[in-house]
Amino acid sequence: MKYTKLGRTGLDCSRLGFGTWQIGGGRWKGMQGDEAVALLRHAADLGVNLFDAASVYGQYHGEVNELRSHSLELLGKAFGGGRRADVIICLKLGQLDEYSHRAIYHPRDMVRELHRALRELRMDHVDICLVHAPSLEEIRNGQALAVVQTLQAMGAARFVGYSFDAEPEHAKLALGQEVDVIMLQYNLLDEECEDAFSLAFERGIGTLVCGPFKRGYLSGRYDKLEDLPLDDDYWAWNLRYNRARVGSILARALELKLAAGGARSLRKRALRHILRHSGATVAVVGHRSAAEITENAQLVDDVLVRHWVNESAIA
C-alpha cells in the first residue's frame, strides 16, 4: 500500500480509502455484522487506513427510538479497541437521513450527533470531521464550519472541513476558508471539480475523493438495466424514480468499459483518473468483499508505480 500526506495535516493516508456507506445497509443491501467487521479488519491488514463514515450511514432506530448508525457501530467493533492507532476515521456530520438530504447544522444538534457517533465508534475523538453536504449558503455563512472548528478546539476532532458531491462552486468557496480537508465527488463521469485539485494542493488542503466508481456504475459489473441487483434498495429506488437517467449513465459507462478493454481495466482507469492529480490524496471506495479490497489495492499500486516510472522518465 502506498501512502501520502493529507495536505498540511501531517496524516499519512493510504491512497486507497474505505467508504462505509454500503456495508451499513440502509439504501444499500447491508452485510452481516461479523462479516462486515472482518472485512474492515482485512482492509486494515492490507494497509488501508482511511475509513470514511457518516452518522446517517446505515441509520436505524434503537430500542428507545434513538437514531443510530450501523456503519459507525461496525467501525467501533472493528477498531474501537486495540487497533485505534491503525486507522484514520473521517466522520461527516449534519445530514438527517439518506433519502431527502435534509440537514441541520445547529450547534446543539451537531454536538449531540458527534457525541453519539463517538459512543458508537468506541473512540474519544475522530481524526477528520466534515460538514456533510452543505448548501452554498451554508458554506458562505460559515456557521456549520464554526461548529466543527469548536469541536476541534475541544479535542473531539483533529482536523475539519467540508464534504460535498461534484459541485465546483461549493469546492471553490470551501477552499477559500480555514479548512484542513475537503471531500468531493470526482470520477470519469463527474469531472466538474477537476480545477479544485490544484487549488487545494497549492493551499495545503487535503482532498479525499469519493465515488471513484460512481456507486457501481464504473465498476464494469452492470451493462444494462437488467443487470442491476434489485434486491438492493439503492438500485430499486433509482429505477423506480430515475429509470431513464440510470439507463443513460449505464450506456455511458459501457462505452468507457469497451474503450478500456474490460471491467478490470475500467476500474484501473477510474482509479488512475483520480490519483493522477497531485492534490487527490485518497480515492475512497465503498467495498463489499475481501476480493474487491484486494483487487483495488493492487490496482492502486499498479497505477502509482506506473505514474512514478513515467514521472521519472520525464525527469
The per-residue pLDDT for 31 is 78
Phi, psi of 52 (to 5 degrees): -105, 135
From CA 20, how far away is CA 25, in angstroms rounded? 9
- All residues at 6 or more sequence positions from 227 whose CB lies less than 8 Å from its CB, including other chains: 221
Question: What CATH code is assigned to 3-314?
Answer: 3.20.20.100
d(CA 73, CA 115): 13
In the block, cell 475509513 appears at: 51
pLDDT tens digit sequence for 89-115: 999 999 887 776 788 899 999 999 999
Residue 286 has what pLDDT?
A: 93
pTM, 2 dp: 0.94
- Give me Rg for the CA atoms of the chain: 19
The string of pLDDT tens digits covering residues 50-76 is 999 999 998 877 877 778 889 999 999
Domain extents for the chain?
3-314
Least Cα distance to 8 among 285, 195, 290, 281 occurs for 281
Q: Residues 187, 213: contact at Cβ < 8 Å?
A: yes
Q: Rounded to a whole number, what is the distance in angstroms from the first to the last CA of the chain? A: 24
Q: How far is the C-alpha of 144 from the C-alpha of 74, rounded, in Å?
A: 27
- DSSP SS3 for 112: helix
Tens digit of pLDDT for each residue in 159-216?
A: 999 999 999 999 999 999 999 999 999 999 999 999 999 999 999 999 999 999 999 9
What percentage of the chain reaches a pLDDT higher than 70?
Answer: 97
Query: Per the structure block, which three cell numbers stand in for 133?
Result: 453536504
What would the grid cell of residue 14 be?
Answer: 493510504
Q: Give the residues across from 60 on adjacent strands.
A: 68
**Distance, C-alpha 5 to centroid of its chain:** 17
Which amino acid, 5? K
Helix (H) or strand (E) holding 89: strand 88-93
Q: Tell me the pLDDT tens digit for each residue of 297-309.
A: 999 999 998 755 4
pLDDT of residue 313: 42
| pLDDT at residue 92, as a whole number | 97
135 vs 82, higher pLDDT: 135
Question: In whole angstroms, what is the distance from residue 66 CA to residue 62 CA?
Answer: 5
